Structure formats: structure tokens, C-alpha cells
Amino acid sequence: MSANMADNMQVNPIIGASVPRIEGPEKASGRAIYTDDITRPGMLHAALLGSHYAHARILSVDTSAARALPGVKAVLVGTDLPHNYIGMFIKDQLPLARDKVRYSGEPVAAVAAIDVQTARRALRLIEIEYEELEPVTDIEEALKPGATVIHEQRDEYPTMYELPREPNAICFTEFMEGDPSSAWDQCDVIVEDEYQVPAQYHMYMEPSSTVAEMDGNGKVTVWTSTQGVARSQMYTALAMGLPMSKVRVIAPRIGGGFGGKCEFTNQPITALLAQATGRPVKLTFSREDDMTMMKRRHGGRIYMKTGATKDGTLVARDCRIVLDGGAYADESPEVSPVAAFFSQGPYRIPNMRVEAWSVYTNLSRASAFRGFGNPQATFASESQLDDLAEQLGMDPVELRLANALEQDDKFFCGKTIEKATMKACLEKVRDASDWAGKRLHGTPARPGKKRGIGVAGMSHISGLAGAGANVLLNEDGSVTLNCGAVDIGQGSDTIFTQIVAAALALDMDQVNFAAPDTDSSPYQFQTSASRNTYVIGNAVKKAGDDVREQIYRHAGEILECNSADLELRQGGVVGVKGVPDAALPFAAIAGRALWQEGGPIMGTHNWLYTPQDRMDPKRMLLRGFALMPDAIGIFTFGAQVAEVEVDEVTGQVEVLEYWAAHDVGKAINKASVEGQIEGGIVQMLGYALTEEMLWDNGRMINPTMMDYKIPGMADAPYKIHSLLIEEAEESAPYGAKGVGEICAVGPAPAIANAIKNAVGARVNQIPATPERVLKAMQSADDAD
Amino acid sequence: MKYVEPTSLSEALEILAGDDEARCLAGGATLVAMLNADLVEPSTLIGLRRIDELAGITATGDQLRIGAMTTHAQIAVDGRLTGNAAVVRDAARQIAHPAIRNMGTIGGAICHADPNADFPGALVAANAVLVAAGQSGTRQIPADEFFLDYLETSLEEDEILSAVMLPVEPSGAGARHLKFSRTHGDYATVSISLVLVLDAGACSYARVAVGSVGPTPLHLTEVDEILTGSDLAGETIRQAGRKLMEAADPVDDVRGSAEYRRMIIPGLLQRAVDELREVG
Ligand SMILES: Cc1cc2nc3c(=O)[nH]c(=O)nc-3n(C[C@H](O)[C@H](O)[C@H](O)COP(=O)(O)OP(=O)(O)OC[C@H]3O[C@@H](n4cnc5c(N)ncnc54)[C@H](O)[C@@H]3O)c2cc1C
């Protein structure tokens, strides 16, 4: 038994408790400080001018009228800035466009003025002469020989991976396992289809916002709405040509991110304005600016073909994924490979080939978004499984159970499954939803509606990149935890506080969670990839354990006993097992350490997920992965069931009830886990039914909340049943692994499969708008 | 930009007449958003909220008078809006979300004349008369003639809409405003406003308007006549629905294509009739 498991046997009851959010009171009372609430002495306000055109050459810029406007302190255009390209895997963008604009909305000029109104007025005085170019808006067209080239100098950009030949391709990935070309002969049933998925906007409540200020020594301080202070620090430094030691980033409260505030948003340009003016500058986007200038989920097309034998054994799959990466690469070089990786789904498919592209287009930037390519691939895969089940005359859950990955199976490309809980998830969701009853007998629908039920299975990962944590013992025996992790609303501040409280048997208010600040926090990747609880939680727990060991060493010396004879008592007391009177408050130990022996107690730990087994390049063909998929973490599994009603007149779909079974390892905070699952489902209900960014010849036509519709409270199912499976993961803190993304992977196919069950029509394109559903119903009728 | 809050209608009309660039501010739900987006730049905003003559609902014999500054929320809960007038109440209840219903006014909604809004169709179905006040007196404009085009009404620049008059007649009427939208609280993709008098299953009075399918509410006398005197059998409603479908002139937009909007009119009309029958 590992040390970790031994700890788990006597876990403090705070682990698993639905303790309230530590920042709850300030949020509920409206006193939480977000970036836009911050004011600095002499602060200026900024606004950006977005390009009108989707693709154009900038011929000339005249900013004289804008500069002359009273109250304007700086006007910057691309040529005013250092020529420092930024980007995650390929450095292909500048904070302001220089020679060319590549999407409508791309920032071309920035103004800092005494107030926002003046800044906006100045924008209207900037004159730019463009030479319009053909916008490339279709991904297949973009890949064709002779297509208009979006980045002429693509091959000169610094990259971390091998670029494909096609000039508009961002990346190309190919995996192959078994012998997919000959395996089709063994199949009794083959289904083949094409699927289309939309560009989805992150719609975090708080639009991107940054305040930047440069001090007299040339060091910049940045307060920003970000998913990671170290990432913002790196890109700001890069854009300014400064070492990271000259940039400090602080995260106040964050109003949501969902992947959109990973890497960078508007930090670089705000810092450049602060540098240009010598004054603090605030830049907060309007919703429309955020929707047109910032990032989104990759839309795209997926071709998929799957074959099985009569008994329902999956044999082969062929898949081609083409994702619209937008004008700049951002995380694309990892998103389409992740989509390719998860195109297998949580099933054994011995013969499989997949290729995945991310393609430059003259649309806004596609980036990380909850699920990171997986929802796209899984929409195709899970839709196809239901069609296969239908042709085989099998129940969809049975087909999934028959092929679900099991213990010691290897995932696509040879990564071993650590804990095979796929079957458990399917069984749990099947039983809880009364699947058999509903599927066989149906439930009566309301007048004018048809009712149906659908399932989807899913897998994801948890564990990307490294983390560190410090736990400092204060003189009164309370502690301060500093790990640099940004809570973007999902609740990680509370989770980490619970972990430290458990490790040291402290009460929640004896643990101070230090706000992320690059001047003091341990280096940290960002809040993404379902990694906080698992990766950062590991560092946090072990830093807490480290403090406990040091407390035990002191206590052993004072009480003259062995560490093994010591125990923690709730509230910051160490005592001798079985001897109630032999006890010392942490304060006594902190005092001794400070004044007499050894110096202040600081616990510290750094942690990085290390794969058990590396991918086997002999076993499969694998190319074009910027990060090796074996290094991105442990597997997680889930299964979801949706019950819907479809309106016979309008085709509108209503999701009535939802069941979601997820293997979370261990729920450190049950209410938080349920919140994540419910939030993921409702967000992706929008993806499945209403959300779609639309462009007309490269101009976004719905960049407002009025035109782009996310679901509201009344559109959510009346009940979402979160069904937790808690099989402790050995490598995880208290057994807990991430759930933030996987819950968002299943809704689109579960809903599409429920629509099929309700009305007999397959919707291959999401969102399944009333119009698309009605048309699918009509063609299904025509086919009968 | 100046902001004034007159306390009488005549004072407000005087300010309006004296300043070409002045604009009335009712609930601000639409106007403030337009100001923020730099779509309008008035010289003066005339806040109407202190003018008593524009407030509240009063019953005057065979009519209900709804002051222009009455909010959607007030209309939605007023029990006096029964029978014919209930179509307006049913519309008010379905507009947007509570925050908008608490701020937005019937006068503001009508004067903005967004064809996707709920009141225009409901007022046409209710045979409402709109009262326009000017410095030289008031004009009574039937709802059918008030809405001229997309965001365009027959109100003159120096007039203020003071009230909406809803006839209590015909007696025994039932009403339904059926709103179909992408999400709860969105503007309608298509809406049907319907007033019927049913005598033992037969229809002795019908007035139907369809919203969001053209620049102004779609109302065809011909359709009212098809329904009136019929027993509202499925075939009759399909015939009425087809007429409306043919006359509809919707646009393609984010809420649906023109083709789709037209296609669902007959089915929605049938549903509105069914729902009205159900509640009696
Ligand atoms: C998020 C949102 C969702 C909405 N959803 C819906 C919906 O689902 N259905 C729907 O029907 N509507 C909807 N609306 C519109 C809403 O009903 C508004 O309240 C209404 O359109 C405007 O009313 P107001 O009182 O706020 O007018 P204001 O915004 O104050 O004014 C609107 C216009 O009318 C003029 N005006 C106002 N009063 C008078 C008057 N007495 N005489 C002359 N001119 C006048 C103003 O000058 C201005 O041009 C929505 C609005 C928002 C912001």
C-alpha cells in the first residue's frame, strides 16, 4: 500500500464535506474585487479599434486627429510596437496588427485617454486605408492548393512542432493503430457520416480586463482577469521585450474563463499602453469587443466511419477532423491532436486511423475551451455509436458496455488505463435514469411534443504540467498557503484550503489562501486541463504534509517521543496518541521554531505528473503532436443520459432531465463537484442547441448576448442528477481527479441521440436549432 | 447631453417641440443600450417618469386606459386585463426577464416599434387605439395604422404617446399570445396574438396578428373572416394559416430563416387556438 493510500484511510472529515466557498461572503455581498473594480492614481482608460475587414493589407494609418483630441494620452498602432511575436506553440501574432489584418475585429489601434468615452471617440478619428483581400472562411477551401494564403511568412515564425506543407494549415496530426485498411472486411455493419460543429464563445460573465502600471524602475505590475498569472507574465514580458523578472502579475477575483482566459487576453497591449504613457492604464472590453476580438471554441467538420461485427464488437474506425483555428494559432496545435486522441472514445477499437487538422481562416481566434477538442470528436463518435447500435439491433447502452475500456486495456497509442471505471459510469447512469423502462416503453410526452432519451460515454484526461506549493506556519499556529493557482469561479481556492486543513487538522479559517501573485507565488502553469485539484492539489497536500512532518519533529523533541506516536488534534494541536494531556498548540511549535530551534517552518513541494508507461512508437503511427499525449495526465471517465422533448410544430428541443455519472476519484467538496457537473452540462446544452458564432463574409453577425443565445435558468433541465463514482486514484490527493472538462464532453451527443430517439431523425450538425431539427424530421419523414 | 424630468405632459411636449434632437426616455431598456452603443446622440433626454398623466391603468366604461409609462410587469399582473385585453397581458408576461419587465414600459416598447417585440401584434389583435399627444391636442391612432415599418411609427417627432386604449368588447372573448423563441426570454422567432369569441365551439369573433414575420405585425381581415363563423376545424385553421404564411414577409436572421418562420405559422396558429380553447 502506498503512503498516499495509508493517509486516505484516516482522512480528516473536511475532505468530502460541502464546505461553503471561502470567498462566498464577498461575492454574495457584491464586495469581491474584480479587475475592473481596481483604480490606480492617475489611471487612464483604454479602448481598442478592431479591424472592419476580415482580410486586408494595411496601406496607411493616420492617427493625427485621434492624437489631437483633448484627453488622449497615447495612440498606438502596430508599427509603434516592438516586433515581438507571441503565441503558445507557434509565435504568429502581435498585440496590434502590423501589415495585415486577418480577422474582422483584430485590434489595429489602441488608445489611452482620461476616460473611456474619450478613448472611444478617439478610435473613431483614426483613419486606416486598407486593401481588401479575399477572406478565407471555409476550412476545406483553405486547405486546397491555390487558396489565398493567410500567413505568408508562416514558415518563419518560431514553432515548437513540425508545420505541414499546406500553407494555411496550422497543424496536422495522424495516429494509426492495428490495420484499419483491411479490418473493414471483418465488419458486418459499417456506418459512415459527416458531422459539423459550431464555433462557441466562452461567455464568461466578466469580459477580459487588465490594469497595468509601470514603476520608476521599469517594472510592470499587471492586475488581470486570467487563468494563470505566470502565463500572463510570460506573454506580457515577451511582447514588451522584457525579462519576466520585470513583470509582476496579480489575479484579483475572476468572473469565469472556460479556457478563454488561458495564455493571454489583453494583458500585452495594456502593459504596452502603460509603458507608452507612463501612467496606469485600464482596459476592460465591452461584450461586443470581447466577442469579436477574443477567442472561441474550434468549429469544424468531422468525417467518421466505424465498423463492428454482428455481436456488437467494434473493429475499425476511420476519422478525419478538420478544425477551424481562426486567424492565429493559439492552442490549436494541441486542440486538434487532443480531438484526434479522443476520437476513439472510451472504447476498444483495435484498428483505427485518424487525421486531424487545424486550419487558419479569416475568422476570430480559436483557442482552449472546456474539453479542448474532445467535445467535437465525441459528438461524432457518440452519434455514430447510436447509429451503429440501431443497425445492429442493440441497445445503445449495451453496445457501449460491450466495448468499454477495461482495467489494463491500453488507450489509443498505447497509454494504459489507470482505473477503468467506464462500465461503472454506464451502469450507474443507466440504472438511475430508468433507461430500460424509458427506452422500451417510452414516457408519454406533453401534447404536440415527442419524447426521447439518449446516452453518451466519454473519457478525458487530468494532469497537465507542473505545480508547486508553499505552506507557511504563522506564529499563532495558523498557516498561509501559496500555490499561485487562480480560482476562476470553479472553487479551487476552497478545495486547496480544505486539503491543507485536512493535512494539518486545521479549521478552514486557520488556513489563509494567498492570492496568486508572480512576485510571491510558486511558479505555476494555469487553471486549465482539469488539472487544479489533481496536479496542484498534489503539491498543496504534500506541502501540508511537509509542515506536519516538521511539526512532528519539533513536538517529538519537546514531548520526548517518536513521530510515530504523535497525532494531530483538530484546530492546530499536536499530541501524543492515547495521552489526552500530552498536547501542544501549533503556536508553541511555531514559537520554538522562530526563536529557539531551526527557524520558521515552511512546507514546500513541487509536483509533475509522470506517466507510468511511455507511448510505444512501434505500436502505432504517431505524428504531429506538439505535446506527447502520454504526458497529459491520467484518464477520467463519465456517462450521461439526456431526456428531451421535441416540438412537432417548431422542432425545438427541450432537455427535461439529465443524469451524469462521473468518476471523480474522490469529491473533496461534493457541492463544488456537483456545481462543476451541472455547469458543464448547462454550458454545453447551449453548444448542443443554441450557441453558434456566425460570420457573413468574415464579419461576425451575432456578437451580442441578444443575438448569440446561451441557455438561461429556465432553459436548463428541471433536474440534473450528478452521480459520483469515487474510486480513489492512487496518484491523486485524497484520490481526487479533475471533472471540470469531462462533464462538458457528453451533452451534445447525448442530446442528439435523445432527439433521434424522440423523432427518428439524426441531427449531424449542432447546434440542433429548431430549424435544423424540423428539417431533419421532414427528411426522415420523406425517407419513410 | 442634458437630462430633464418634466412633471406634466404639456411641459414635456414643449421641450420636445423646442429641440429637434431631444428624445423621450421611458424605461430606458432599449434607449440606454442604444446610447451605450453610440447609435443615437440626443441633445436632451426627457425623462417621462414624473408625469402622472402617463402612469397606471384605469377602467373607463367600455375601455381600459393604459398609461404609456406603465411597465410590462404592472400590465402582466393586472387582473382587469381580461377577455379581449388579456392578449396584451399575456404578451407582457412573456417579455424578456423580470429586470426588463420591471424597467420597460408599454409606451417605450410601442414607440421603438421593433417588429420582433411582443406588444405590437398583441395590440393589433386587441384592436387597441393609441393616443398621441401633441401641443395642439391628441390623435387617436388604431394599432393597425400605428406601425409603419421596421422601427417606424406614425407618431410625429413632436408627439408623445400618452396612452393605449383597449376595448373591453367583444364580450366573452378569450385571448392568447403564443410566443415561440430560441431561449426563454429571447425576442420571438414567431408570435401569434389571438382573440376569439367561442359560442359552444363555434367562433363568432376572431382577430389574429402574427409578429416577427415582417416589418409590422401581420394582420389579414381575410383570415379573421375565415375563422369567424367557422367551428375552427383543423382544415379551417390550416386554410387561415396558409393565408398568413403566404402574406408573411420575414427576414433571414439569427432567430431563423424566412422560410422556416413562414413554415411554422400554420402549426403555431393551430396551437394558439388549442391553448385558448383549453383555458376556455
Ligand atoms: C435584454 C432585453 C430583452 C428584451 N426582450 C424583449 C422581448 O422578449 N419582447 C419584447 O417585446 N421586448 C423585449 N425587449 C424590449 C423591452 O420591452 C423594452 O422595454 C422596450 O422595447 C422599450 O421600453 P422602454 O420603456 O425601456 O423604452 P426606452 O428604452 O426608454 O425608449 C424606447 C424608445 O421609445 C421612445 N419613447 C419611449 N416612450 C415614449 C413615449 N411615451 N412617447 C414617445 N416616444 C417614447 C424613446 O425615445 C426611445 O426611442 C427587450 C429589451 C432588452 C433590453
Question: Quick one: angle between helices A747-759 and A670-689, nearest 10?
Answer: 60
- CA distance linking residue B206 with residue B229, whole number of Å: 9
Residue listed under C-alpha cell 451533452: A747
Residue of A317, A325, A388, A407 whose CA lies nearest to A355: A317
Residue listed under C-alpha cell 479559517: A509
A233 and A119 both lie in a single domain: yes
**A17 CB-near residues (< 8 Å, 6+ apart):** A498, A669, A670
A635 and A753 both lie in a single domain: yes
Size of interface A-B (CB pairs under 8 A): 51
Quote the number of domains for chain B.
Answer: 2
A583 and A654 both lie in a single domain: no
Domain holding B239, by residue range, is: 173-279
A31 backbone φψ class: left, alpha, beta (φ>0; ψ -120 to 50):
alpha
**Which ligand 1 atom sits closest to the C-alpha of B34?**
29
The residues of chain B scoring below 70 in pLDDT are: 280
Between these two residues, B202 and A2, which has the higher pLDDT value? Answer: B202
Per-residue confidence band for A3, with pLDDT thresholds at 50, 70 and 90: very low
Residue at which a domain ends, from B167, B202, B223: B167
B183 and B81 both lie in a single domain: no
Measured from the CB, is residue B22 less than 6 Å from ligand 1?
A: no
Residue listed under C-alpha cell 490527493: A733
3-class SS at A200? coil
A223 - beta bridge partners? A211, A250
- Interface check A654 vs B, CB under 8 A: no
pLDDT for A146 beyond 60: yes
In this structure, which amino acid lies at residue A191? V
ipTM of the complex: 0.96
A128 - beta bridge partners? A61
B153 and B38 both lie in a single domain: yes
Please state, rounded to an integer, the average pLDDT across all residues of chain A: 95
A335 and A354 both lie in a single domain: yes
* Run of H or E including A338: helix A332-341
HSE toward the beta carbon, residue B21, CA cutoff 13 A: 8
Quote the number of domains for chain A.
Answer: 3
For residue A1, being part of any structural domain is answered with no
Per-residue confidence band for A783, with pLDDT thresholds at 50, 70 and 90: confident
A671 and A539 both lie in a single domain: no
B183 and B153 both lie in a single domain: no
pLDDT for A16 beyond 50: yes
A396 and A408 both lie in a single domain: yes
A575 and A621 both lie in a single domain: no
pLDDT recorded at residue A7: 46
Residue at which a domain ends, from B167, B183, B212: B167
Measured from the CB, is residue B110 less than 6 Å from ligand 1?
A: no
B129 and B221 both lie in a single domain: no
CATH number assigned to the domain comprising residue A245: 3.90.1170.50
pLDDT (tens digit per residue) in A185-208: 999 999 999 999 999 999 999 999
- CA distance linking residue A748 with residue A375, whole number of Å: 8
A90 backbone φψ class: left, alpha, beta (φ>0; ψ -120 to 50):
beta
pLDDT (tens digit per residue) in A269-290: 999 999 999 999 999 999 999 9
Per-residue confidence band for A616, with pLDDT thresholds at 50, 70 and 90: low
Provide mean pLDDT across the span A460-469.
94
CATH number assigned to the domain comprising residue B210: 3.30.390.50
Domain holding A78, by residue range, is: 35-133+208-284
- CA distance linking residue B176 with residue A649, whole number of Å: 17
For residue A174, being part of any structural domain is answered with no
- CA distance linking residue B163 with residue B146, whole number of Å: 13
Residue at which a domain ends, from A579, A607, A635: A607
Q: What is the CA radius of gyration of chain B?
A: 19
Cα A769 versus chain centre, distance: 25
Rounded to a whole number, what is the distance in Å from the CA of A707 to chain B's nearest CA?
6
pLDDT (tens digit per residue) in A691-741: 999 999 999 999 999 999 999 999 999 999 999 999 999 999 999 999 999
Q: Under a CB-based contact definition with an 8 Å cutoff, are residues A389 and A311 in contact?
A: no
- CA distance linking residue A12 with residue A606, whole number of Å: 23
- CA distance linking residue A269 with residue A249, whole number of Å: 14
B87 and B202 both lie in a single domain: no
For residue A619, being part of any structural domain is answered with yes
Q: Under a CB-based contact definition with an 8 Å cutoff, are residues B241 and B265 in contact?
A: yes
B36 and B55 both lie in a single domain: yes
pLDDT for A624 beyond 90: no
B221 and B254 both lie in a single domain: yes
A440 and A509 both lie in a single domain: no
Q: How far is the CA of B101 from the centre of ligand 1 (A)?
A: 10
pLDDT recorded at residue B130: 98
pLDDT for A452 beyond 80: yes
Residue of A333, A322, A429, A329 whose CA lies nearest to A380: A322
pLDDT recorded at residue A2: 43
Contacts of A288 in chain B (CB under 8 A): 37
A270 and A411 both lie in a single domain: no
pLDDT recorded at residue A4: 45
pLDDT recorded at residue A621: 67
Per-residue confidence band for A408, with pLDDT thresholds at 50, 70 and 90: confident
pLDDT recorded at residue A5: 43
Contacts of B97 in chain A (CB under 8 A): 712
- Identity of the residue in B180, B182, B260 whose CB atom sits nearest the CB atom of A690: B182
Q: How far is the CA of A242 from the centre of ligand 1 (A)?
A: 51
pLDDT recorded at residue A488: 97
Among B41, B179, B183, most A C-beta atoms within 10 A, so best to mutate, is: B183
Among B264, B275, B279, most A C-beta atoms within 10 A, so best to mutate, is: B264
For residue A566, being part of any structural domain is answered with yes
B219 and B138 both lie in a single domain: no
B135 and B252 both lie in a single domain: no
B161 and B200 both lie in a single domain: no
pLDDT for A620 beyond 90: no
B141 and B209 both lie in a single domain: no
Beta strands in A626-759 (DSSP E): 634-647, 653-663, 695-696, 699-700, 719-725
pLDDT (tens digit per residue) in A548-558: 999 999 999 99
B63 and B114 both lie in a single domain: yes
